[in-house]
Structure 1
Amino acid sequence: MRNARHRRWTASIVAAAALGLTLSACTGDIAEEEAGDVDCADYESYGTFDGAEVTVAGTILDLEADNLNKSWADFETCTGIDVEYQGSSEFEAQIAVLAEGGNAPDVGIVPQPGLLNRLAGGGWLIPASQAVEDNVDEFWSEDWKTYGTVDGTFYAAPLMASIKGYVWYSPAEFEEKGYEIPKTLDELTTLSETIAAEGDHKPWCVGLESGEATGWPGTDWVEDYMLRLNGPDAYDQWVAHEIPFNDPQVAAAFDAVGGYLKNEDMVNGGIGDVSTQVSEAFQTAGLPILDGECSLHHQASFYETFWNPEGGDDVKVASDGDVFGFLLPPANADDPLSVTGGGEFPVAFRDAEEVEAFRAYLSSDTWANNRVSLGGVISANKGVDPQNASSELLTQSIEILQDPETTFRFDGSDLMPGAVGTDSFWKGIVAWVGGEDTAQVLDTIEGTWPTS
């Protein structure tokens, strides 16, 4: 039955590829080639399995997918479990269809709690084992556990994490021109206006294009401003729809962001006019900073990977390097540190010991340190040594997530119902940047919120 089920899942992926989906097939071959001699002491608790296989799918592609395979190479060697990963840019759109047809992978790496809720509501998910839950209770905060819980049932541990509110810049340009890192949102506005007035280039470069998910980088802007302008309580009320999407507080956040994204004087540095934000891929939008064609780019900590997309080190990410990042500042200099962020959750569609052994490993401090050491990512796992991170910025990011004084809020659109968070909110950003006014866009999004 296992082999027949694997063939059905693989056939579904192949059929998806025939429809034009972008796939990255990263099998255990990479792991096997690079495993070498392994000390299996850290893996004894997971057991040993003869010829077992676990299929995994998610949105992680290319270099990051290669590193994902490397991160569990020793686990494969020591347990005998072959982990087969398939990455697809259409995973989010396809996973519910595959689950409904009985063709889902054993494990799906879900990037949105809202999608996790939908899959749990469909009755397709296997609750997490006690080993997974024990790891989460030891290594993660209660908030993170809540994101993997639906109606009191715990389904998935967190995996990687990101901080969404970084502003990327060139340290050399800041030093040459005497720019200072802004300490408040007003100071950020003043800095942007100063750069615009100098006339060398537009201060901000922005890319909102992401295939079917086009618009999501704009939702990150709004969420950051919603948290900083209105505080965590209002943010939580907005996400839970305890205040409507067209509430004045939400409008204020949109309008503050609009001072940049809808302003021809502010965007789109090195790329074109305001309209080019919608056609410029988020992966490449920050690169004009390297050519001196813009000064500022708002994107998450994971954007570090895109400065060296081939995995090299030509672009140095450091406070004294080619590019670095500062956190979007608070509204007031004495406000507590508040950040938005995201993460992934490995959910299970098959109830089997090897699947839960694999998920227990992914929830451990061993896996988190292994993956962080490979570079380009962070984790909110409290067992991670921040010094294992691949850059100064990522070390700082881990320390921020581990700091009990940090106010952390998960990406709002990822928590909202899919009809809003991954549909009307994304589309609303595109329409808004395209010229629709704030009230019209917010009324439209509010009208899509499910009534039950």
Structure 2
Amino acid sequence: MRTTRNPRRMKLALAASLAATLTLAACGGDDGGGDAGEDDGATAGGDTDCSAFEQYGDLEGKSVSVYTSIISPEDQPHIDSYIPFEECTGATVEYEGSREFEAQLLVRLESGNAPDIAYVPQPGLIERIANDFPDQITEVGEQAQSNIDEYYNEAWRGYGSVDDTLYGAPLGANAKSFVWYSPSAFEENGYEIPETWDELIALSDQIVSDHPDVKPWCAGIESGGATGWPATDWVEDVMLRTAGPEAYDQWVEHEIPFDDPQVVEAVDTVGEILRNPDYVNGGLGEVQSIATTPFGEAGLPILDGSCFLHRQASFYQANWPEGTTVAEDGDVFAFFLPGQSAEDRPVLGAGEFTVALADRPEVAALQAYLTSPEWSNEKARVTGPGWVSANSELDPANLESPIDQLAYELLTDENATFRFDASDLMPAAVGAGTFWSEMTAWIASGKDTQEALSAIESSWPSE
């Protein structure tokens, strides 16, 4: 995760992996006086109701630099989302994207040339900056903290904190706990959306029985230098379901070893699907083909009926061929990867954070704006499919894609248990190293579960 070939950009993608489908909408910010989703703020002509921006004060002549991994043309929706802030406060936002963001951010911090705000895509990097550059990182300001407490699930505060100090404010988000399917295939076969894990397995068995020449599941984990990450997402999702959130947290923090029986159970449960020759790999090959199938192509057999189910995040919508209708009554859609019971709602996800590296009023103001309902709704309006915020005051109507709306519903469900992607919280040598490679070997060569997990455990950095 610390290399130029950033697996997070492959993996989480958020704006970057989805922006090929972005379409710009000419709208603006909310007035802040009514429902956060009302379209009575900025207009195509640039007229903005600035009442919600008075809290930031007069920032005329001030500028704030923003540094991210999101480059042209994917950067344009971000740049457009700043317009109401600039119009109403007088400040200027200077945006800079870089393919070498993570490496160069650390170089710039080392040389004393840090940006004012950085978009950081993983909590581990926030912790590294806080530990290595304590004099440069700035605690999230009071206005932004107030927004976070009011509009976000409390888990986001934890993921942006280091030693109980909040340094990262949530920006974008995504939900990973989805299974893609063909609504028409389900209707033709009389299949219903499973609401429990047992029902999911029963559905898989029913498909095997009904369609001897078709596999219920298709999967692929090839992703260049990041090969293996889709398999780790499988493990993380299942770990939440079989071991529960407390054990998941202990696993992430290495309070239990990587080869703990609870982790073994989770991986073996994944194996009941991914290493089951009766279940995989529809339209693509045998079990071993999962290791060599590009993740972006892995779900495509659903379209020709070669498979029925594909577990992948909301951002997978960008991988369907042009002309594919993604909707509940379309060519493809997705349902929540069920828990142990219908009431069990574990949600695996990820996201980006803003980190302030300068202590000036205009920097704090922009960071606060980026946590506000005004920004979340503005960003949704100027961005096409593939972007979601976990801000509870985002109006789902401003999200163009039904999958984004479904992801938002999960991310803001008060009854859901949200956990951040484990591999992004673990040390890079594990989360972006042995976890990927050992899960690849587990599939490609049938490596024993205990042996694979013990190899990961032995690679965990010593304190």
TM-score clears 0.5: yes
Q: Distance in 1 between matches of 2:79 and 2:444?
A: 40
2:187 matched residue in structure 1: 175
Q: Tell me what 2:378 maps to.
A: 370
- CA 1:325–1:49: 2 relative to 1, 3 Å: same
Do 1:69 and 1:85's aligned partners in 2 also have CA atoms closer than 8 Å?
Answer: no
Contact 1:32-1:73 at 8 Å conserved across structures: no
Q: Percent identity over the alignment?
A: 48
Take 2:76 and 2:123, find their aligned partners in 1: how far apart are those partners? 25
SS, match of residue 181 in structure 1 = coil
Structure 2: how far apart are the matches of 1:246 and 1:193? 29
CA distance in 1 between counterparts of 2:225 and 2:110 reads: 21
Q: Helix, strand or coil: the match of 2:169?
A: coil
How far off is 1:443 after superposition? 0.4
Change (3 A) 1:251 1:304: same
**CA–CA separation in structure 1 for the residues paired with 2:293 and 2:171:** 29
**1:120 matched to which residue of 2?**
130
1:415 CA displacement:
2.0
User: Which stretch of structure 1 is more off in the superposition, 429-438 or 79-88?
Assistant: 79-88
Counterpart in the other structure of 1:357:
365
Q: CA deviation at 1:372?
A: 2.7
How far off its partner does 1:210 sit?
3.2
Residue aligning to 1:340? 348
Question: What is the Cα deviation at residue 301 of structure 1?
Answer: 2.0
Please say if residues 274 and 433 of structure 1, whose CA atoms lie closer than 8 Å, have aligned partners that are also in contact.
yes
Amino acid at match of 1:372: A
Instruction: Give me the whole-angstrom Cα distance separating, in 2, the residues matched to 1:62 and 1:260.
Output: 39
Q: Please name the residue that 2:339 is paired with.
A: 330
CA RMSD, 1 decimal: 3.1
Residue in structure 2 matched with residue 158 of structure 1 by the alignment: 170
Change (3 A) 1:139 1:386: same
Q: How far did residue 167 of structure 1 move?
A: 0.1
| Mapping for residues 48-447 of structure 1, pairs under 5 Å | 48-50=59-61, 52-58=63-69, 60=70, 64-78=74-88, 79-88=90-99, 91-92=101-102, 95-102=105-112, 104-123=114-133, 124-197=136-209, 198-307=211-320, 314-333=323-342, 335-373=343-381, 374-375=383-384, 376-435=386-445, 436-447=447-458
1:128 CA drift (Å): 1.9
Amino acid in structure 1 at the alignment position of 2:221? L
Give, in angstroms, the shift of residue 355 of structure 1: 3.0
Specify the SS of the correspondent of 1:109.
strand
- The structure-2 alpha-carbon separation of the partners of 1:342 and 1:189, relative to structure 1 and needing over 3 Å to count, comes to same
Higher fraction of helix: 1
TM-score normalised per structure 2: 0.82
Q: Which residue of 2 aligns with 1:9?
A: none
Q: Deviations over 1:238-267 (max 9, x none)?
A: 122221110111001101111222334333
CA deviations over 1:187-208 (Å, ceiling 9, x no partner): 2223223334513433222232
- Check conservation: 1:115, 1:418, Cα contact below 8 A: no
Q: Using CA pairs below 8 Å that are at least 6 residues apart, which structure has the higher relative contact order?
A: 2
